[in-house]
Amino acid sequence: AQRVTQPEKLLSVFKGAPVELKCNYSYSGSPELFWYVQYSRQRLQLLLRHISRESIKGFTADLNKGETSFHLKKPFAQEEDSAMYYCALSDSNTGGFKTIFGAGTRLFVKA
Amino acid sequence: DAGITQSPRHKVTETGTPVTLRCHQTENHRYMYWYRQDPGHGLRLIHYSYGVKDTDKGEVSDGYSVSRSKTEDFLLTLESATSSQTSVYFCAISPGPQSGNEKLFFGSGTQLSVL
């Protein structure tokens, strides 16, 4: 079954420290993976998707098919990065098209 | 923000009563979704639609039904609300893979409390 696992519910780092939010997935086929972010009092929004290989707000994520991982990284965390982060996988295998989310990781960046 | 409106924004109801949440879009996107957000569970898909009158179940569809009679509207109904359905409900839309865009756009959410 398709699944997205984010093992950390909460991650707390100091400003300027590196950040890595972990995401593992299970999917039969070639996955389309995403990171979504929810800042306080804002709508959930797309941060980045693996296929575009973009770096958004200093964040990057590399798809590792061997380890079935899509970890989100940033070399120097900023206080404004504090938010809820969701890893997601789009599933087109079973007909239709739907996106499955992990349980989320709350990132707290301390001054 | 993409043109997505959820109504109501907040709802308090009693156990056993029917509740309908509405999602309205002005983007003419093919796909529409209802998710619920709960601590420790993240976002879980309830139902989704891939066209007018075309819907399918998600991960947690029990106790919920949906309808899509127009492209722009997707209704979520709790036939007989239970306390376990207390949650924040999000609507999302997407052009879909056929349009080369699998990105989801989210509404502001509906906070539902079932007492």
pLDDT digits (tens, 9 = 90+) for B16-41: 999 999 999 999 999 999 999 998 89
* Cβ atoms of B94 and B102 closer than 8 Å: yes
Interface of A with B in 50-89 (CB under 8 A): 86, 88
Query: For A86-110, what is the HEC assignment?
Result: EEEEEECCCCCCEEEECCCEEEEEE
* Residue corresponding to tokens 């998710």: B35
Selection from A49, A40, A11, A34 nearest residue A87 by Cα: A34
A:B CB pairs within 8 Å: 61
CB atoms A101 and B44 under 8 Å = yes
**Edge-to-edge, what's the strand order for the sheet holding B64-70?**
B4-7, B19-25, B73-78, B64-70
Q: In this predicted model, what pLDDT tens digit does every residue of A19-39 receive, in sequence order?
A: 999 999 998 877 889 999 999
Decide if pLDDT at A93 tops 80. no
Q: With contacts defined as CB-CB under 8 Å, which chain B residues touch A90?
A: 97, 102
pLDDT at B98: 73
What is the DSSP pairing of strand B105-106 with strand B4-7? unpaired
Mean pLDDT of B60-88: 96
Distance from CA of A66 to the nearest CA of B (A): 24
SS3 B84: helix
Distance from CA of B114 to the nearest CA of A (A): 23
Mean pLDDT of B59-84: 96
Percent of chain B with pLDDT over 70: 97
- Both structure tokens of A38: 């929810």
- Distances A84 to A11, B8, B114 between C-alpha atoms, Å: 10, 24, 25
Mean pLDDT of A68-82: 96
- Both structure tokens of B60: 């947690």
Residue A72's H or E segment, with its range, is strand A72-74
Mean pLDDT of A88-98: 77
Decide if pLDDT at B62 tops 80. yes
**Residues in a beta bridge with B54:** B51
Number of Cβ atoms within 10 Å of the Cβ of B66: 23
Q: With contacts defined as CB-CB under 8 Å, which chain A residues touch B104?
A: 36, 44, 46, 88, 99
Suggest the residue from A10, A43, A48 to mutate for an interface test with chain B (most B CBs closer than 10 A).
A43
Residues whose CB is less than 8 angstroms from the CB of residue A6 and which lie 6 or more positions away in sequence, other chains included:
A21, A22, A23, A85, A86, A87, A102, A103, A104, A105, B42
Query: Radius of gyration (Cα) for chain B, nearest Å?
Result: 13
